[in-house]
């Protein structure tokens, strides 16, 4: 069977591409540059030059494909032109859906994010829970709008389409700009990470990359069209996150608890600096605000309906750190 993976050089997309190839699928790997260093080479992988913003290139890439995994997205914390988030995440997704319909594609799995639910208050969010806050973060807002495109498309029928929502993904893979967990861990290993946000009790959900890839495959094979599935892991506080990294790595670096007010002040300085210089900020106010809240999510639906399995955070971090030590 021939399948297309958009975003084939991304953190999730590259590992998904490899997994499909190793299972015997003929994989078309869509990327803007076929010489990209993160593009995996395999006899079952055919690199295809294209861009989800250009329908003609999508049409060529989808020729002969029965399935499409749409993982491509603009997931960076910041970009010079904020409109790029809408173009890539919303318009790009619409292009993928409409071109797939015309190309005779039978099934689509769309990679969204748990960020569409945003912060949580008491209980872990599940698929049917509403968002309780606004959308100050452009990535989350545009991924939410893209989900609306997917839901409307699914209602029309004709193509099987499922949405998956990974949480904070970590694992064995390149430390890209959007791989925020990998960047934190690598900085700690190198003695360049020096603080824990606030009192360290804020909780987030961390999903191991291998689990997320398997969840994509299960969604394609066993999901229900029109549904969405959270692909998460364990809910871990910042204190426990760094405690685990310390225990697994054997490296002990002094970390201070940095007040959230100080982080917020610094983020405003970084925003102003980026506005004046055009340089990428280290942090932004909307992300500093997010540190005040938990981000807890439940993967029970995926576990029950897809057979999704969660790797423990300790085991996943062992594998991640072993990989990063070779970087």
Q: 80: exposed, middle or buried (C-beta count within 10 Å: 0-12, 13-18, 19+)?
A: exposed
pLDDT-based confidence at residue 133 (cuts at 50, 70, 90): confident
CB 215 within 8 A of CB 275: no
DSSP line for 15-77: HHHHHHHHTT-EEEEEES-TT-TTPPP-TTEEEEE--TT-HHHHHHHHTT-SEEEE------S
User: Structure tokens of 135?
Assistant: 């959308």
State yes or no: pLDDT of 125 exceeds 80. yes
State yes or no: pLDDT of 196 exceeds 90. yes
User: Structure tokens of 190?
Assistant: 């190198």
Rounded to two decimals, what is the model's pTM? 0.96
CATH number 3.90.180.10 is the correct assignment for the domain at 2-171+205-234+295-311 = no
Percent of the chain with pLDDT over 90: 89
Cα 28 to Cα 320: distance, rounded to the nearest angstrom: 27
User: pLDDT at position 91, please?
Assistant: 98
User: pLDDT at position 278, please?
Assistant: 87
User: pLDDT at position 142, please?
Assistant: 98
How many CA atoms are closer than 13 Å to the CA of 196, on its beta-carbon side? 19
pLDDT-based confidence at residue 121 (cuts at 50, 70, 90): confident
Estimate the share of the chain in helix, then strand, then coil, as percent rounded to the nearest 5. Answer: 45, 20, 40
Q: Higher pLDDT residue, 279 or 163?
A: 163
User: Structure tokens of 111?
Assistant: 């990679």
pLDDT-based confidence at residue 149 (cuts at 50, 70, 90): very high
Least confident of 7-21, 56-70, 118-132: 118-132
Neighbours of 24 (CB within 10 A): 9
Radius of gyration of the chain (CA): 19
CB 231 within 8 A of CB 207: yes
Name the residue among 301, 281, 304 with its Cα closest to residue 114: 301
State yes or no: pLDDT of 268 exceeds 90. yes
């Amino acid at each position: 069977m021939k399948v297309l993976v958009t975003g084939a050089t991304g953190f999730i997309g590259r590992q998904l591409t490899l997994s499909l190839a190793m299972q015997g699928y003929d994989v078309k790997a869509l990327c803007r540059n076929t010489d990209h260093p993160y593009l995996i080479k395999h006899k079952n992988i055919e690199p295809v030059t294209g861009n989800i913003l250009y329908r003609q290139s999508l049409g060529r890439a989808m020729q002969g494909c029965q399935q499409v995994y749409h993982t491509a997205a603009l997931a960076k914390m910041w970009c010079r032109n904020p409109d790029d988030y809408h173009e890539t995440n919303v318009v790009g997704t619409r292009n993928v859906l409409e071109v797939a319909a015309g190309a005779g594609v039978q099934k689509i799995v769309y990679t969204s994010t748990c960020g569409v639910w945003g912060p949580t208050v008491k209980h872990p969010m599940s698929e049917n829970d509403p968002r309780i806050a606004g959308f100050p973060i452009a990535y989350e807002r545009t991924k939410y709008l893209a989900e609306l495109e997917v839901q409307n498309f699914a209602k029309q029928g004709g193509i099987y389409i499922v949405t998956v929502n990974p949480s904070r993904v970590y694992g064995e893979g390149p430390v890209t700009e959007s791989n925020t967990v990998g960047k934190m861990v690598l900085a700690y290993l190198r003695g360049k990470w020096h603080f824990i946000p606030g009192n360290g009790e804020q909780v987030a959900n961390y999903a191991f990359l291998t689990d997320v890839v398997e969840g994509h495959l299960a969604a394609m094979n066993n999901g229900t069209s029109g549904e969405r599935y959270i692909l998460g892991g364990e809910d871990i506080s910042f204190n426990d996150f760094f405690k685990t990294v310390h225990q697994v790595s054997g490296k002990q670096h002094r970390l201070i608890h940095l007040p959230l007010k100080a982080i917020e002040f610094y983020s405003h300085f970084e925003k102003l600096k980026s506005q004046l210089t055009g340089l990428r900020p280290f942090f932004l106010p909307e992300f500093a605000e997010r540190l005040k809240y938990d981000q807890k999510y439940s993967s029970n639906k995926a576990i029950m309906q897809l057979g999704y399995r969660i790797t423990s955070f300790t085991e996943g971090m062992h594998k991640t750190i072993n990989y990063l030590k070779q970087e």
